[in-house]
Amino acid sequence: MFDNLSDKLDKALHVLKGHGQITEVNVAETLKEVRRALLDADVNFKTAKAFTNTVKEKAMGQDVLTSLKPGQLMVKLVKDELTTLMGGETAGIDLSGNPSIILMSGLQGSGKTTFSGKLANYLKNKKTKKPLLVACDVYRPAAIDQLHVVGEQIGVEVFSDKGNQDPVAIATAAIAHAKENGHNVVIVDTAGRLAIDEQMMTEISNIHKAIQPQETLFVVDSMTGQDAVNTAKAFNDVLNFDGVVLTKLDGDTRGGAALSIKSVVDKPIKFIGTGEKMEAVDVFHPSRMADRILGMGDVVSLVERAQEQFDEEEARKLQKKIAKNQFGFDDFLSQIQQIKKMGNMKDLMGMIPGMGKALKGIDIDDDAFKGIEAIIHSMTPDERSNPSVINGSRKKRIAKGSGTSIQEVNQLLKQFDQMSKMMKMMQGGGGRKMMQMMNN
């Protein structure tokens, strides 16, 4: 995420390293580079200039902080300013209505339908919410089908009325349906166009007036840079929306949209989309994002993602199996599935402080477990629960079936064996034994 910007800011802030004092000269030099980094990230000129002016003023007024190294102080000032630029505080969504109505707006292809599904899934996982998805795109039957596919995937009901050409009527009927059926959140997905056009604006504005949503979210593709900001302005003029959803932050986006949108429309970014899967969504935290941009990682989000996927009941079952020496490849497979749900590997690794930089230019396969999964899928149920039966000829069969080599099968078996031993020791309170083993 924002690799290029991170890299350039890192270089800019290095200029101050080795200087004992913050002077007007070295601050000016650093800030020139910071401004260049922001412009390269497609931040608009005025915003970039205001940014560096504020940092400069603050830096000059910081004689008191002589105990801090100037480099660190500058990093802190830049971090604080990046946080402010992206909205300062984390902004929640209003779910106070019953049902709470959430309206999606944005251009076609921005990721509205995908995000509608992600949000429904996110809220459903909070247990107290029973969302209803509503398909209001009356022009593209395929869009209605797409929402049904998404709904089925996450187990959320979808309300649609194919053939009905009146989106206001569909949305109104959906809300009545939600009330009758105990849905406490209604997420309305609307039709988008490839570019701003008057008819689309009138239509969404009519839906908005009729259903009076608690939350109107504007969904925008972060890859479109400054265009994203211009589109946001056009939608905000008509809808006065409540928040922004930035999608496709997993792509090669430069960061301009994330950094400029708040200063142009004065509305917070509430969520970000980081992939095509239903789980690839995060609440947007300006301060954590600033940390990530400056290469400081984001351990808090990493732990939160792990907790979201963590199922206590499953964990207890697993513990029992380990204690009884029954941990098999099927359990291993379900562990992999849980890790995969946390997001793509490069994204996860980037949340570890210092790793973002270390991983730069390294290509991490989006599906790093592909080979391992293929091998396990080629095993029989018996082999999965009793790996000791896997002899030479079975290995050959498994390698062939999974399109891997006998070496790879051997490697996995060895790793699995080591892992099982370690888990057993941890269970038995054998921390000491494990230390011994690791020292050997």
111: helix, strand or coil: coil
The least CB distance from residue 156 to ligand GDP, in Å, is: 15
The answer to whether the annotation marks 256 as part of a ligand binding site is no
Q: What does each C-alpha distance from 231 to 42, 71, 214 come to in angstroms?
A: 15, 37, 22
Given a contact cutoff of 8 angstroms between Cβ atoms, the answer to whether 266 and 54 are in contact is no
Which residue in the set 30, 114, 253, 378 belongs to the binding site for ligand GDP (CB under 6 A)? 114
Binding pattern to ligand GDP, positions 279-318, x when CB under 6 A? Answer: -x--------------------------------------
Contact call for residue 167 and ligand GDP (CB under 6 A): no
CB of 235: closest distance to ligand GDP in angstroms? 13
**Cα–Cα distances in Å, from 271 out to 19, 254, 282, 438?**
39, 18, 6, 42
* Shortest Å, Cβ 190 to ligand GDP: 9
Q: Which residue is nearest to ligand GDP (CB)?
A: 273
Structure token pair of residue 87: 């909205």
Which of these segments, 80-88, 208-216, 268-276, 395-403, binds ligand GDP (CB under 6 A)?
268-276
Nearer to ligand GDP, 241 or 332 (CB): 241
| 248 has binding-site annotation | yes
Candidates 13-21, 92-100, 102-110, 252-260 — which segment interacts with ligand GDP by CB under 6 A? 102-110
Closest approach of ligand GDP to the CB of residue 330, in Å = 30
192 interacts with ligand GDP by CB under 6 A: yes
- Is cis: bond before 99, omega within 30 of 0? yes
Contacting ligand GDP (CB under 6 A), which of 30, 44, 274, 287?
A: 274
Residue 163, phi-psi category: left (phi > 0), alpha (psi -120 to 50), beta (remainder): left
Q: Is 356 in the site for ligand GDP (CB under 6 A)?
A: no
Helix axes 312-323, 406-427, angle to 10 degrees: 90
C-alpha 57/C-alpha 59 separation (Å) is: 6
Task: Using DSSP bridges, classify how beta strands 269-273 and 243-247 pair: parallel, antiparallel or unpaired.
Answer: parallel
Minimum gap (Å) between residue 347 Cβ and ligand GDP: 11
In the complex with ligand GDP, which residue's Cβ is closer, 365 or 417? Answer: 365
Which residue, 291, 254, 288, is CA-closest to 269? Answer: 288
Stretch that binds ligand GDP, among 24-32, 50-58, 271-279, 410-418 (CB under 6 A): 271-279
If one asks whether residue 113 binds ligand GDP (CB under 6 A), the answer comes out as yes
Does residue number 112 form part of the binding site for ligand GDP (CB under 6 A)? yes
Q: Does 90 appear as a known binding residue?
A: no
Q: Is 251 one of the binding residues for ligand GDP (CB under 6 A)? A: yes
With beta carbons less than 8 A apart as the criterion, state whether 247 and 222 touch. Answer: yes
Distance CA 13, CA 27 (A): 9
Question: Does 344 contact ligand GDP by CB under 6 A?
Answer: no
| Adjacent-strand bridge partners of 246 | 220, 272
Does position 108 bind ligand GDP by CB under 6 A? yes
How far apart CA 322 and CA 316 sit, in angstroms, is 10
The answer to whether the CB of 279 falls within 8 A of the CB of 343 is yes
State in angstroms the smallest separation of the CB of 249 from ligand GDP. 7
Closest CA to 347 of 214, 251, 221: 251
Structure tokens, 369: 């477990």
Q: At what angle do helices 3-14 and 24-40 cross, to 10 degrees?
A: 170
| Cβ at position 104, least distance to ligand GDP in Å | 8
Nearer to ligand GDP, 149 or 406 (CB): 149
Question: Helix, strand or coil for residue 351?
Answer: coil
Determine if 276 is a binding residue for ligand GDP (CB under 6 A): yes
113 is in an annotated binding site: yes
Q: State which residue, 25 or 194, has the beta carbon closest to ligand GDP.
A: 194
Helix axes 406-427, 329-341, angle to 10 degrees: 90
Determine if 250 is a binding residue for ligand GDP (CB under 6 A): yes
Residue 227 as a binder of ligand GDP (CB under 6 A): the answer is no
Instruction: Name the residue nearer to ligand GDP (CB basis): 12 or 249.
Output: 249
d(CA 213, CA 131): 14
- Extended strands (E) in 24-172: 100-105, 131-136, 157-159
Query: Are 109 and 222 in contact, with CB atoms under 8 Å apart?
Result: no
Which amino acids are annotated as binding site, given as ranges?
A: 106-113, 189-193, 247-250
Residues of this chain that bind ligand GDP (CB under 6 A): 106, 108-114, 192, 247-248, 250-251, 273-276, 280
Q: Which residues are annotated as a binding site for GTP?
A: 106-113, 189-193, 247-250
